Amino acid sequence: MLKSLLRFAALFCCAGVFATESTLELDPNMKLKPADADGLKYLLPAEKPLRLTGFCWYGQDHVYRRLPVRPDGKLSRGVENLAWNTAGGQVAFRSDTGRIVLKVEMRSNNVMYHMAQTGSAGFDLYAGAPGEQRFFGVTRFPSGAKEYTAQLFKGERRMRDFTINFPLYAGVKQVFIGVDADAKVEAPPAWKDDRPIVIYGTSITQGGCASRPGMAYTNLLSRRLNRPVINLGFSGNGKGEPEVAAEIAKIKDPALIVLDYEANVHRADLMQKTLAPFIGILRKSHPTVPILLLTKVRYAAEGRDLKRGNDLPRPGHVQAVQKVERDTFDALSRNDPNLHFHSGDDLLGPDFDECSVDGVHPTDLGFYRMAEKLEPVIRSILPR
């Protein structure tokens, strides 16, 4: 049904923006919504009074993409493709609906051996006032589905605050939010501060391998801090490229920028080449915004000495890369009091080897630990 409706809508709309690197697609807000059915009306995430966050260039490009469709510089192929993944996207609203049903058309849905599809290609739902939000449901759909309809919520009719998290490792072409036809729909409660926290990094930042979107550490922090958190993690492609820094620098009025990309830079010379220039590009646009330099979490292979029961030293190449990070911080922070440093060694706790799917990518437990440890660090940095 959804596919036929979208084809019908295409006859009446003008081509707008890029859907992939080489094809054009319509502005999603110009497409016809599904006809009311089963007592539901359908909303678009960017429609008022709903609040769409996580896509800083949506107002310009009208697609669910984490970087601009036409960046000033040429992005690497990996970043270009991963920018279509919707990690960190959220839509929030207040309603007395007794049901929430999503109609979804995916741009991509890559099935991975080490990650649940509910995390890579699913949406999940939280309900409750800021600081009290609880998980309510996740979309269920056939493996590899490019289109699906799924119920996220069913309950008694009363006013609630809802937040829907977008998939972490898939692209979303279109999503319609079905609520009871006679339901009131209002704006969600205001953020504590609507200036975004921007986190740039790797697959761990992007959310691999959370079992559902709400368990990525960026989304956990958003709920805990009641602030928008922009997820700019690019799996295997967080390499500190200046072209990416230039686009991040365009984000308006960030409260904090976190750099968490060490895990994709395996050589000290590459960290030396990228880190200071990356920070320099950010500083041209945001001279006083706090920047937090975060080193990577411990991998399971960086484990324990089984004979003595002690943690082993980090491997030599990790120590070399982290020395560059620390030396760069020490040098720049002499003239930059808004530059901060935090070691990722302790983020997963003493049993860090139990916190990953594959020795590298955190489970929900790992992400929970990361958010728990990073929350006070970030609170201490953010202006009161």
Angle at 189 between CA 186 and CA 195, to 5 degrees: 125
Backbone angles phi, psi at 286, to 5 degrees: -130, 75
Residue 18 CA to residue 23 CA, distance in Å, equals 6
Cis preceding-peptide flag for 277 (omega within 30 of 0): no
Residue 130 has pLDDT above 90, yes or no: yes
Average pLDDT of the segment spanning 320-324: 96
pLDDT for position 31? 57
Q: Give mean pLDDT, residues 31-53.
A: 86
Mean pLDDT over the full length of the chain: 90
The pLDDT value recorded for residue 261 is 98
Q: 252, 57 in Cβ contact below 8 A?
A: no
Instruction: Supply the DSSP symbol for 332.
Output: H
Q: Of 30-39, 73-82, 362-371, where does mean pLDDT reach its minimum?
A: 30-39
Residue 347 per-residue DSSP state: T
Q: What is the mean pLDDT of residues 84-106?
A: 97
pLDDT one-digit tens code per residue, 325-337: 999 999 999 999 9
Tens of pLDDT, residue by residue over 140-151, are: 999 889 999 999
Contacts of 121 (CB under 8 A, 6+ apart): 106, 109, 110, 141, 145, 167, 169, 170
Task: Give residue 305's pLDDT.
Answer: 53
How far, in Å, CA of 308 to CA of 320, rounded? Answer: 25
Name residues whose C-beta falls within 8 Å of residue 158's C-beta, 6 or more positions apart in sequence. 96
Q: Which domains does the chain have, with CATH numbers?
A: 35-186 (2.60.120.260), 197-381 (3.40.50.1110)
Intra-chain end-to-end CA distance of the chain, in Å: 50
Q: What would the mean pLDDT of 236-258 be, rounded to a whole number? A: 98
Q: What residues contact 224, with CB distance under 8 A and at least 6 apart?
A: 131, 371, 375
Cα separations in angstroms, 82 against 24, 126, 381: 18, 25, 29
Q: Is residue 19 scored above 50 in pLDDT?
A: no
Look at residue 272 in the predicted model and tell me its pLDDT: 98
Amino acid at site 80: E
Centroid of chain to Cα 267: 26
Could you tell me the pLDDT band of residue 310, with boundaries at 50, 70 and 90?
low
Specify whether the CB–CB gap between 99 and 152 falls below 8 A.
no
Reply yes or no on whether the pLDDT at 366 is more than 80: yes
Check pLDDT > 80 for residue 14.
no
The amino acid at 350: P
Own/partner pairs, 322-328, CB within 8 angstroms, 24+ separation = 322/262, 322/295, 323/268, 324/268, 324/271, 324/272, 324/275, 325/262, 325/271, 325/275, 325/293, 325/295, 328/271, 328/272, 328/275, 328/276, 328/279, 328/293
Mean pLDDT on 104-131:
93
- For 280, residues 6+ apart whose C-beta sits below 8 A from its C-beta are none
Q: What is the pLDDT of residue 3?
A: 42
pLDDT value, residue 6: 42
- Say whether the peptide bond before residue 14 is cis (omega within 30 degrees of 0): no
How far, in Å, CA of 119 to CA of 284, rounded?
36
The pLDDT, as a whole number, for residue 313 is: 64
Q: Is the pLDDT of residue 208 over 50?
A: yes
> d(Cα 354, Cα 364) in Å, to the nearest integer?
11
Calculate mean pLDDT across residues 268-276. 98
* pLDDT over 50 at 5, yes or no: no
Give the residue-averaged pLDDT of 212-240. 98
